[in-house]
Structure 1
Amino acid sequence: MVQRTLIFRRGSIGDAVVSLPALSAIRDRSPEAELAILTNAPVMGRAAHIEAVLGRADLISEYFSLPPGGGGISSMRQVRSAIKSWSPDKLIYLSEPSSIISLLKEYLFFKACGIKNIEAMPFAQSLREYQPKSDNIWESESERLLRAVGLPWPAKLEINFSDEEQNQAEQIITDKITGNPFITFSIGGKLPDKDWGDANWSFVLEKLSAANPSLGLLLIGAEDESVRSAALAQNWRGPVLNLCGKTKPRLSALAMKQAIFYLGHDSGPMHLAALMEVPCIALFSARAKPGAWFPHGDNHHIFYPWEMADSVSNKAGFRTAGSSILSIKHDEVIEACRKLLI
């Protein structure tokens, strides 16, 4: 009989990407098992569902969605009924830790779904904190999740794109960018304390375009970021392709694949770009310990308010930032871009 494993992971694009190493390692450990994900439904379409990144293929065969805000008794009963019908043998907790009270409620819900074996519930303090790696760099959320399940980094990340997806993305770029080298830009972030501000971004984009007038610009983001992104790029001299809200995350990832680099906030599109091995010039606020949410890979240029690193909590899921991102100077960002454009 095939083992069925339910993975609990809340979040959207970035959360899906950072969970990929643990998901791939779980798949490597149990190649014959069926994996399903229990996640939260997006709120008012502002964020993409995890399925929009992971898809339905060899890795994940089923998705169950909790209603936004927890929902009512009726909707929770529907989710419980669907999970019980799927009949998972065990659940693996791969999400940022809830509060202890909420964690207990989640545990009771999992039990009410008929799940007897529950792994990696973050009751222990060690799973509720990021561990230091080196001088002022902390383990990533991906590494914390692997530590929670006791597995090594996988040899390969299990995300596969169909020929149709790859051809469609290539056609989009060919039709609109017309052979020009291009960069990807995303305001992303969605939260005020992760936002560097329109004045800074407009200044950087205008300077880059003036120095590289034939350079293309690919705008990636959600539908509600389309107008703002277009306004920031209004003085761009080369070809501009605004895909905000027009392509699903998997297609957006493939469209970014040939970009010289990604430029923008700490966001889901940033993690997608890193997944496609695109160098990232990424701006962070001091919302988490440095390293916790940095893009995977060594070919990135990270801007972070390092002077605030010691004051930031190492608790997973704990966020404080204020206006810390505004300490980043636009001249430094322009110089990082210039080095990759030489």
Structure 2
Amino acid sequence: MNVLIYRLGSLGDFIVTIPALRLIIEKHKNDRIVLLTNSRYDGKVVIAEELFPKGIYYDDVIYYPLKLRNIIELMKLIIKLRKMRIDILYNLNPFDTRKQNTLKYLFFKLAGIRKIYGLHWMKANKPVIDSDGLYEKFGQAVLRNIGFDATISNINCRYCLGEENVVPNLGIEGKYFVFSAGSKAKIKMWDISNWQKLFNYLNQYSGEFTAVAIGAEEEYGINQKIIDKWLGKSINLSGKLSFKEIASLLKGAFFYIGIDSGLMHLAASVGTKVFSIFSSQDIPGLWFPIGDHSIFYTDIECKGCRLNECKIGNNICINHISPELVVKHLIRYLEYKDYSAGVVYVERNIIQKV
């Protein structure tokens, strides 16, 4: 039997679907599995093969450009899929609109695929919202949409890690924490002054921890302005590590602190405690990391705007989250070994849309 997994996105998008990938593999362990995904579209994007080489979650991969609209190229893809004689499709993109669902369903039917999970003819995929107003996590929505149990306690990205610990080779001794302040979307950025204040507060632990910065090469500068405030040992590794090296580094960290990003999901997936400062650009809950982590999110009228730049100004939602609030929970973790988290710290209805 030939199985096709359809998933678009980059680092974080793939990590949150690991539970679904694992269940699909378990169900089809004797079948051939092919991944259909997007090709690289941005220098900062991590594509599927960098995360999971062939032979782990799939046997082969087909890449195509995002927003492919050329009829000839679409027909070539249909013909290629028909020749592969795909029996089953799993769509791991759970929030398609009615139009997207219908067009994709039609496309894959033209490709000769008989059984389709996660795409519905003339029907939109709707998220589940709990009594606290939090949306189900993306990974849970993926599982529910393809008909699996949506209960997830952790991700456990064991394949994200290399076989050896890279930390000794980086010159890091003793305990360390990792942070990253950069993002492709400006609206997700916590102001640098907030980061610097946070590090000033945390300097009471500067003799105990090494501060380690990670991120893309172009984020080296902003991370350096923050790490300069650290009075203890520090190292800026932005743009200097491979994906597996970053995963190994995060695995050994005492905690990770950052904004909504793929690195946040990677840290959570290797079992590291995460403190994440969220923009309200997306709906609350959807992209929160899976596991017992501390999340900071402002409930504002314009939440879920999906913009890359704030129209109100100054990223008002994320910058309403104070360094004092974040450090309060960091200290509780450091001083009292309080791993409870799993608590979402939502400041409700403080700001009104202007």
**Fold conserved between structures, TM > 0.5:** yes
Q: Is the 8 A contact 1:188 1:269 kept in 2?
A: no
Q: 1:238 to 1:278 in 2, by over 3 A?
A: same
* Aligned counterpart, 2:89: 91
Return the offset for 1:181: 0.6
Match of 1:319 among 284, 297, 306: 306
**Whole-Å separation in 1 of the counterparts to 2:265 and 2:160:** 20
Q: Is the 8 A contact 1:130 1:140 kept in 2?
A: no
1:27 aligns with 2:21: no
Q: Across the two proteins, how many residue pairs are aligned to each other?
A: 328
Q: Is the 8 A contact 2:175 2:209 kept in 1?
A: yes
* Aligned counterpart, 1:12: 10
Q: Is the 8 A contact 1:97 1:122 kept in 2?
A: no
Return the offset for 1:71: 6.0
Match of 2:284 among 290, 293, 308: 290
Q: 1:108 to 1:134 in 2, by over 3 A?
A: same
Secondary structure (helix, strand or coil) at the match of 2:29 reads coil
Output the amino acid matched with 1:206.
N
Match of 1:340 among 333, 337, 343: 333
Return the offset for 1:20: 1.0
Q: Is the 8 A contact 2:180 2:213 kept in 1?
A: yes
* Aligned counterpart, 2:137: 140
Query: C-alpha offsets along residues 135-183 of structure 1, whole Å, 9 cap, x if unaligned?
Result: 23321111111111111247985744498x231xx13x11334322111
Q: 1:98 to 1:132 in 2, by over 3 A?
A: closer
Return the offset for 1:122: 4.7
**Whole-Å separation in 1 of the counterparts to 2:140 and 2:321:** 27
Q: 1:312 to 1:73 in 2, by over 3 A?
A: same
Match of 1:100 among 98, 101, 117: 98
Return the offset for 1:250: 3.2
TM-score (norm 2): 0.82
Structure 1 gap segments, 5+ residues each: none
**Whole-Å separation in 1 of the counterparts to 2:152 and 2:258:** 28
Output the amino acid matched with 2:327.
I
* Aligned counterpart, 1:175: 169
**Whole-Å separation in 2 of the counterparts to 1:279 and 1:107:** 39
* Aligned counterpart, 2:68: 70
Query: C-alpha offsets along residues 187-210 of structure 1, whole Å, 9 cap, x if unaligned?
Result: 243212111121111221233235
Identical counterparts, % of pairs? 27
Output the amino acid matched with 1:267.
S
**Whole-Å separation in 2 of the counterparts to 1:275 and 1:37:** 21
Q: 1:212 to 1:154 in 2, by over 3 A?
A: closer
Query: C-alpha offsets along residues 13-59 of structure 1, whole Å, 9 cap, x if unaligned?
Result: 11111111111122222222222221112323121113322332332
User: Which structure shows the bigger proportion of residues in helix conformation?
Assistant: 1
* Aligned counterpart, 1:190: 184
TM-score (norm 1): 0.85
**Whole-Å separation in 2 of the counterparts to 1:87 and 1:221:** 41
Secondary structure (helix, strand or coil) at the match of 2:16 reads helix
**Whole-Å separation in 1 of the counterparts to 2:129 and 2:12:** 22
Q: 1:220 to 1:96 in 2, by over 3 A?
A: farther
Q: 1:243 to 1:129 in 2, by over 3 A?
A: farther
**Whole-Å separation in 2 of the counterparts to 1:234 and 1:75:** 50
Structure 2 gap segments, 5+ residues each: 336-354
Q: Is the 8 A contact 2:268 2:291 kept in 1?
A: yes
Secondary structure (helix, strand or coil) at the match of 1:137 reads coil
Larger RCO, structure (CA 8 Å, separation 6 or more): 1
Q: 1:98 to 1:332 in 2, by over 3 A?
A: same
1:242 aligns with 2:236: yes
Secondary structure (helix, strand or coil) at the match of 2:109 reads helix
